[in-house]
A and B are shown apart, each in its own frame.
Chain A
């Protein structure tokens, strides 16, 4: 491997952890790692990329790149790929990363290994594993184009160690698309309040149909807060209007892979399992000992979630000293 690009996905200067995980993944390919940082006021990210293990950083700072937009970002990435001919271009399979790498792969007629959980090199080929059919089976993929684009599922690769003594070259480049040629404008932004991004969360506490109401999510939220985790929900709970869709885990929601997944009042439908079965430790809390969720759980408590969840919050508070 001669040269591998890692595109650093960030929002207003705050990088998504998947961007640094991509540096770990790039290390498995071998070769020099060049991080790409596009934005405005993102000098700190270039330094951080070096600390996380990039050998070199290409920075493009411009007001027109302040927020990610499809056209200017794609034009810039394509230009850099054509100039440097990297063996691979990696990013997290984030909302922006999936769009951008697909666009650049299309324009350069390159292979895209999308949303992969494993990566390896075999001679001239790059091989990857992608969960297909909504995570119900795995597909083994092989790509041999001169440049291969790769998006990585969040949390599938480890966060590299941060070493502030690392340094490297930082190269500044100019944007490609003039501002007036960009066909999209971002008019407003409303931050999602009070919850961790589900795909990045190390701990998720999910409520199912059995929470029964919007208020019923209170003990779910409480435990998530005590554990420093995010709140998930099943499709049944979302469809019943107990909680917004942004919290939905499963085939038609988010696919997550936390260290700890606590499913409370979740029966464990095949669609829900598709979104969470790769979690490292699964805990099921359900009144019904025959619920399918117990078949994939590592630990279970048979009981009423409205009693068990507060007891867990209390026990966690006591033992974690919170």
Chain B
């Protein structure tokens, strides 16, 4: 079956000023939580492929209740169903992968998982490749285009951007991919979608129900810190002409051994 899954979560908006407060907690003031920005592309791609292949598209979040908003946003954009898996270790990719793989096995008929490039809060993409490996599936990251997708033949053909250029890769399904922002023009929620999402009840699955026993996260986040404040202010290069300013700046950069 043409069943596509996207995993997403709620994260601070990219324009949010994120800081560590006096109590050591990360805060983003009054900025809104939004669908993880990279997932605008994965959700859109899932909806486009679902439409093209007359399949089903499910969106899943792993974490607390706050992620229901991201799930509703994804439903409003056009995903068919949403599930939340409760987890207290939201930022631990191994925990994520164990729960994600168990959920995919429970769904049973999933052929393709599409992730956005990374989660902006943890600033990590490890959960993507960990999920693939826990499932024993292939993974192709940094996909900029799906060239062909055939659920009957269980095959996919994609363009992948690597440091050196662009590859064309064909792979068997089931498969995990992560997509870049090049892949599509993100869809906005439709009026009908918003109405549907507002009425949706989102089932909550637990680790116990999925048969996953969770230990302590393998990586402990011992503290969050603010970035060191840059000392000194900007030296504005003055001069009578652009030429003079340019020459002064190049001299400074040579002295700083920056050139």
Report the Cα distance A301→B246, complex, angstroms. 8
Interface contact A142-B162, CB-CB below 8 Å: no
Interface contact A103-B129, CB-CB below 8 Å: yes
Interface contact B126-A187, CB-CB below 8 Å: no
Interface contact A133-B121, CB-CB below 8 Å: yes
Interface contact A114-B124, CB-CB below 8 Å: yes
Identify whether the interface residues of B are mostly helix, strand, loop, or mixed.
Answer: mixed
Q: Please indicate the chain B residues that have their CB under 8 angstroms from the CB of A133 in the complex.
A: 12, 18, 26, 120-121, 123
Interface code A297-310, partner B: CB below 8 Å = 1, 0 otherwise? 11111111001100
Q: Please indicate the chain A residues that have their CB under 8 angstroms from the CB of B199 in the complex.
A: none
Interface code B169-212, partner A: CB below 8 Å = 1, 0 otherwise? 11110010000111000000000000000000000000000000
Chain A residues within 8 Å of chain B by Cβ, number: 91
Query: In chain B, what residue has the closest Cβ to A14?
Result: B164
Q: Please indicate the chain B residues that have their CB under 8 angstroms from the CB of A28 in the complex.
A: none
Q: Kindly state whether residue A139 has any CB partner on chain B within 8 Å.
A: yes
Q: Kindly state whether residue B240 has any CB partner on chain A within 8 Å.
A: no
Q: Kindly state whether residue B107 has any CB partner on chain A within 8 Å.
A: no
Interface code B142-168, partner A: CB below 8 Å = 1, 0 otherwise? 100000000000000100011111111
Query: In chain A, what residue has the closest Cβ to B156?
Result: A184
Q: Kindly state whether residue B52 has any CB partner on chain A within 8 Å.
A: no
Interface code A173-189, partner B: CB below 8 Å = 1, 0 otherwise? 00000000001111111
B8 to chain A minimum Cβ distance, whole angstroms, is 15
A189 to chain B minimum Cβ distance, whole angstroms, is 5
Interface contact B180-A284, CB-CB below 8 Å: no
Report the Cα distance A269→B128, complex, angstroms. 29
Q: How many residue pairs at the A-B interface have CB separations less than 8 Å?
A: 258
Report the Cα distance A320→B254, complex, angstroms. 9
Q: Please indicate the chain B residues that have their CB under 8 angstroms from the CB of A220 in the complex.
A: none
Interface contact B123-A132, CB-CB below 8 Å: yes
Q: Please indicate the chain B residues that have their CB under 8 angstroms from the CB of A314 in the complex.
A: 243, 246
A218 to chain B minimum Cβ distance, whole angstroms, is 17
Q: Kindly state whether residue A252 has any CB partner on chain B within 8 Å.
A: yes
* Chain A 125-165 residues near chain B, CB threshold 8 A: 127, 130-143, 145
Interface contact B132-A260, CB-CB below 8 Å: no
Residue among A227, A271, A301 with most chain B CB within 10 A: A301
Report the Cα distance A199→B142, complex, angstroms. 15
Interface contact A70-B139, CB-CB below 8 Å: yes
Q: Kindly state whether residue B125 has any CB partner on chain A within 8 Å.
A: yes
Interface contact B250-A103, CB-CB below 8 Å: no
Report the Cα distance A2→B190, complex, angstroms. 58
Query: In chain B, what residue has the closest Cβ to A183?
Result: B172
Q: Please indicate the chain B residues that have their CB under 8 angstroms from the CB of A46 in the complex.
A: none
Interface contact B138-A70, CB-CB below 8 Å: yes
Q: Please indicate the chain B residues that have their CB under 8 angstroms from the CB of A136 in the complex.
A: 17-19, 227
Q: Please indicate the chain B residues that have their CB under 8 angstroms from the CB of A82 in the complex.
A: none
Interface contact A301-B134, CB-CB below 8 Å: no
Q: Kindly state whether residue A191 has any CB partner on chain B within 8 Å.
A: yes
Q: Please indicate the chain A residues that have their CB under 8 angstroms from the CB of B157 in the complex.
A: 187
Q: Kindly state whether residue A206 has any CB partner on chain B within 8 Å.
A: no
Neighbour of A307 across the interface among B37, B219, B242, CB < 8 A: B242
Interface contact A299-B246, CB-CB below 8 Å: no
Q: Which of A36-44, A57-65, A90-98, A208-216 interfaces with chain B?
A: A90-98
Chain B residues within 8 Å of chain A by Cβ, number: 81
Query: In chain A, what residue has the closest Cβ to B116?
Result: A252
Report the Cα distance A210→B41, complex, angstroms. 27
Given A109-B94, A137-B19, A183-B172: A103 touches B219 (CB 8 Å cut-off):
no
Report the Cα distance A102→B243, complex, angstroms. 50
Report the Cα distance A131→B245, complex, angstroms. 35
Given A99-B129, A142-B219, A315-B243: A301 touches B232 (CB 8 Å cut-off):
no
A301 to chain B minimum Cβ distance, whole angstroms, is 5
Q: Please indicate the chain B residues that have their CB under 8 angstroms from the CB of A269 in the complex.
A: 15
Neighbour of B15 across the interface among A96, A192, A270, A319, CB < 8 A: A270
Report the Cα distance A103→B220, complex, angstroms. 19
Q: Please indicate the chain A residues that have their CB under 8 angstroms from the CB of B219 in the complex.
A: 111-113, 141-143
Report the Cα distance A246→B14, complex, angstroms. 19
Q: Please indicate the chain B residues that have their CB under 8 angstroms from the CB of A188 in the complex.
A: 167-168
Q: Please indicate the chain B residues that have their CB under 8 angstroms from the CB of A311 in the complex.
A: 242-243, 245-247
Neighbour of B163 across the interface among A95, A111, A283, A303, CB < 8 A: A95
Interface contact A183-B227, CB-CB below 8 Å: no
Q: Kindly state whether residue B43 has any CB partner on chain A within 8 Å.
A: no
Given contacts A142-B220, A142-B222, A270-B16, 7 further A-B contacts (CB under 8 A): A102-B126, A102-B130, A130-B123, A132-B123, A143-B219, A184-B171, A312-B249
Q: Which 3 A-B pairs have the closest CB atoms?
A: A311-B246, A106-B130, A102-B129
Partner-A contacts on B (CB < 8 A): 12, 14-20, 26, 37-38, 93-94, 97, 120-134, 138-142, 157, 161-172, 175, 180-182, 218-227, 230, 232, 234-237, 242-243, 245-247, 249-254, 256, 258-259
